[in-house]
Chains A and B, each alone.
Chain A
Amino acid sequence: MDVKWGALGQVFVVSLAVSVAVVVVFSLGVMALSARRSVREHHGDGGSGAVVAATLCFTACAAVVLYGLYLIVPQFH
């Protein structure tokens, strides 16, 4: 038997790191959106900083998704 424990460990570490990163960044984006709504509710406008933060967060997530697409579609390799 030749179980590639090293590869399995790699899968675990990479999955954990990427998943946690994506979910945390996405959650931060959600927080930013939520913050913007709260700011607007109280002041009528503003919250542009929150919009920028949210955009950054979701762009980062989109980049990961695109990388996922790249991995899935063999024609890109």
Chain B
Amino acid sequence: MGNWLSDKYAEGTIGRRFYAGCRNVDTVEQIAADHATALFGAAHAYVQPHSGIDANLVAFWAVLAQRVEAPALARAQARHVNDLSDSDWEDLRRDLGNQRMLGMSLDAGGHLTHGFRPNISGKMFHQASYGTDPATGLLDYDQVRAQAREFRPLILIAGYSAYPRKINFRIMREIADEVGATLMVDMAHFAGLVAGKVFTGDFDPIPHAHIVTTTTHKTLRGPRSGMVLCQSELAEQVDRGCPMVLVVLVRLGRLEVVRGRAAGRDGARPLVRLRLGQQVEVCPGISTLLPYRAAPAARCCRLALCASHVCHLSGHMPEQVLSQPARPARRRPIRWIAPGRDGVTLSRAARRGFIAGSPCAPNLTGTAERMGHPVMEHVTFLVVVVIITALAFDFTNGFHDTANAMATSIATGALRPRIAVAISAVLNLAGAFLSVEVAKTISGGIVDDRLVTPPMVFAGLIGAILWNLLTWLLGLPSSSSHALFGGLIGAVWVGAGVQGVHFDTVLEKVLVPALASPLIAGFVAMTATYLAYTITARARHESVATTFRFGQIVSASLVSLAHGTNDAQKTMGVITLTLISTGTLASGSAPPFWVIGAAGLAIALGTYLGGWRIIRTMGKGITEIESPQGFAAEASATTVILASSHLGFALSTTQVVSGAILGTGLGRRLARVRWGVAGRMALAWLLTLPAAAAVGGVAAAVATTGTLGVTVAALVAVAAAAGLYAAGRRNPVHAGNVNELPGTPQPAAA
């Protein structure tokens, strides 16, 4: 990037060079300075620095010259330092080395060149730092004010390299004025946002600070360089940057490129303005992906800061991960953050965390499509959509499975319908809070979880929800777990290819249990029922009815509690794993309290609303149930469920309970089992997986195309769900008529 200007000695400043033949250099430097002042609205610009540290040094010495050297010269009535006596000169040297500076601490996001010991600035100044409020991670202006009053710095520095927030420069100026300090702002990390008029008013440093420094290669996205902007009273001192700090004018050519490109004449162009604004707009995406402190108000700066103690990552790991070659964003929007090392700024200085910034993203033509605004917004949007959809699924899971616990109790009159669903809802909620084991995989190994992206989870959930609603409309109990598995299988098959589906695991975890559950539970319940009736055959009827009803209530409550610990946990797992996959939670995190609460409430609300259609089928449709049967069925179902979950062979609750009810019908002599209903139920079980998979696959095909696709899929799903609900309203089943079978020969169609 050398040019002819690079080879020219041009020390001094415009019109006052040490060497002759600098007329063209003067012209170029003047143009650059004019562009800089026009771009930022500053009174004066000094454009010679090579970099940020040079610019800062020029600024420091300009302030020292104005505040320390000039008064000393005035006192000695000297015009130039060369005119000072030796003793005055020694006094001045001592005074220059005895000044105080107050800046932001390194661990709060400050910069090394703001007076820290390893840097020359720390060797020049007696430095003190202000931090951020540990609770909020925000700058506490009152604390800055208190510190400034006590420390009385010559220079108050505002600006940062890793503070992901806006700073109110009006307040900082008030503080500086109060203590007689010069306010200096190092805006290198957000200069683009100032130039692009994203930071305005109190957040624009130019009108508030006495002196402002910046680089040109960060958010201004130009070649490497720096500059100093100042108010007019400091202009003369700033222009003494050379010889004071002896910056050599070699980068003007580059600076001119910067001016033309990022701002200056182009600054007013909508596209440039848009790109600069984009750097802020992408931040919600970045902060969604990083568990950085106080995430909610992130839309204010282009940075996201991630402290190691929050994300359990040192600077090294993110650097390695983020330097991976790009992968197609469409397939893996979670991995958007990987499109190339240029997209991310990493600070490894403290090894205590890292920052991810957006400045290069919109600039890189090759990666803009992936790194730019839409992709990152897509991630944020998706996370919200997945969470809402997961909770909706949880809700359908609740009302679909109320019947498992309460259908027999309602049918035998052991509990009044409203009481039954209320008990079940409370126990489901309690169960949600009791469960501690987090799902380690979204699908339990049925699909390749490494290929599962949020759009696929979303699509899978849609498949499961719609199938749950359809079976609810038909009054058919079907496994919500199988519906979710089916939805995910379809979504992954379409989204990532057939190799993403583990069919042997499907056979092992879905098909075999689907066959085994009703058989085992049916046989156990049949045996138990037969024995109960045989033993109590000659017992008094009222003893039998009341006592067995009591037993029914206890066993039904156990089923509800077990349901809460298992099924709510599935949704928590989906939400938590989605948040982990997008980086919002650290890997291995337990579900946050709000996730547990939301999942528990969703399933409890669903349970309380009661899937009355399914309750009717299970309580009345399969067979007429008496209280000994109800007890035998519930006790058997509870035992099978608990045995299966503690002996390492998971069975589906829905199929266990349905099988137990069927078995209890067979176990009581003369009881009539409606095989037609049982057959329809079996058909529904058979169809659950493929049907949910089909819906999930279609949804995935749409949802994996981007934000628009997700929106379309969500709208279609909501419309379909509303349609199914409306169809249900035409022939409502509720607490009042749940125990009345319609007179049609097909009671399940209720």
Contacts and interface: CB of A to CB of B under 8 A. Distances in A.
Interface of A: 1-4, 7-8, 10-12, 14-16, 18-20, 22-24, 26-31, 33-34, 37-38, 61, 65, 68-69, 71-75
B659 to A, nearest CB: 11
A27 B523 contact: no
Interface of B: 431, 434-437, 504, 507-508, 512, 516, 520-521, 523-525, 527-529, 531-532, 535-536, 539-540, 542-544, 547-548, 551, 554-555, 558, 561-562, 565, 628, 631-632, 635-636, 638-640, 642-649, 651
A63 to B, nearest CB: 12
Contacts of B554: 65
B507 A3 contact: yes
Contact of B565 (A1, A12, A74): A74
A37 B648 contact: no
A73 B642 CA distance: 11
A2 B523 CA distance: 25
22 contacts: A1-B504, A1-B507, A8-B516, A12-B523, A14-B643, A18-B643, A19-B640, A22-B639, A23-B529, A24-B532, A26-B547, A26-B635, A30-B536, A30-B544, A31-B535, A31-B536, A34-B536, A68-B558, A69-B561, A71-B646, A73-B565, A74-B435
A24 to B, nearest CB: 5
Given A16-B527, A24-B531, A30-B547, A72 B558 contact: yes
Contact of A34 (B512, B540, B644, B645): B540
A69 B558 contact: yes
A47 to B, nearest CB: 12
A68 B642 contact: yes
Nearest to B564: A72
Contacts, number: 136
B532 A27 contact: yes
Contact of A30 (B539, B565, B647): B539
In the complex, the 3 A-B pairs of residues with the closest C-beta atoms, listed nearest first: A34-B539, A27-B535, A34-B543
A37 to B, nearest CB: 6
A14 B548 CA distance: 22
A18 B631 contact: no
A23 B631 contact: yes
A53 to B, nearest CB: 13
A40 B520 CA distance: 41
Contact of B649 (A4, A23, A30, A34): A4
A3 B558 contact: no
A72 B642 contact: yes
B532 A15 contact: no
Nearest to B566: A72
Contacts of B640: 11, 15, 19
A15 B643 contact: yes
A65 B555 CA distance: 8
A8 B649 contact: yes
Nearest to A68: B558
A73 B436 CA distance: 9
A66 to B, nearest CB: 10
B635 A22 contact: yes
A19 B525 contact: yes
A61 B551 contact: yes
Contacts of B524: 12, 15-16, 19-20
B431 A72 contact: yes
Nearest to B533: A27
Nearest to A9: B649
Contacts of A1: 504, 507-508
Contacts of B565: 72-74
Nearest to B649: A7
A43 B325 CA distance: 91
Nearest to A76: B434
Contacts of B628: 27
Contacts of A4: 648-649
A3 B512 CA distance: 8
Contacts of B535: 24, 27-28, 30-31
A1 to B, nearest CB: 4
Contacts of A22: 528, 635, 639
B636 A37 contact: no
A10 B643 CA distance: 8
Contact of A15 (B435, B508, B520, B536): B520
Contacts of B437: 74
Nearest to A25: B535
Given A12-B524, A15-B521, 20 more contacts: A3-B507, A11-B649, A12-B520, A15-B644, A16-B523, A16-B527, A19-B528, A20-B524, A20-B528, A24-B531, A26-B547, A28-B535, A31-B539, A34-B536, A37-B540, A68-B642, A71-B642, A72-B434, A72-B642, A75-B434
A19 B667 CA distance: 14
Contacts of B540: 34, 37-38
Contacts of B648: 4, 7
A27 B238 CA distance: 98
A55 to B, nearest CB: 13
Contacts of B507: 1, 3
A75 B436 contact: yes
B531 A23 contact: yes
A34 B516 contact: no
Nearest to B505: A1
A74 B434 contact: yes
